[in-house]
Amino acid sequence: MNVTINSVHFKADQKLENFIQSKVEKLSGLFDGILGSDIMLKLENTENPENKIAEVKLLIRGNDLFARKQCKTFEEATDQAVEALKKQLEKHKVKLRGK
């Protein structure tokens, strides 16, 4: 699966990119129809410590799935976004079986 990671206004280190890559690639084991994914990492300029945003877009045939989470760390935000996408994938698979 092709995983594209974009970081806005900062440079993501290799450790973070490897973590995100391994998390997102686990989703391909749940569903064969995943073509790729786009991950956007953003820092929000706020006083709030939960200013790290991970947006994950899964590219699948038909509809793309999307999750956006905001947390204290990019790892935590990615974890939560991947969990949300797992639920969306399950719903998508049920919908496909129903056709």
Q: Judge whether 49 and 43 are in contact, CB under 8 Å.
A: no
User: Taking each helix axis from N to C terminus, what angle separates 14-25 and 74-98, rounded to the nearest 10 degrees?
Assistant: 20
Mean pLDDT of 1-19: 93
pLDDT above 70 for 38: yes
Note if the pTM is more than 0.85: yes
Mean pLDDT score of the chain:
92
Overall domain count for the chain: 1
E strand segments, 1-99: 2-7, 34-43, 52-60, 65-71
Query: What are the tens digits of pLDDT across the range 50-85?
Result: 899 999 999 998 889 999 999 999 999 999 999 999
Q: Give the CATH number of the domain where residue 70 resides.
A: 3.30.160.100
Query: Which residues lie closer than 8 Å to 37 by C-beta, 6 or more apart?
Result: 1, 2, 3, 4, 24, 27, 56, 57, 58, 59
13 lies in which domain range? 2-98
The residues that bridge with 62 in the sheet, in sequence order, are none
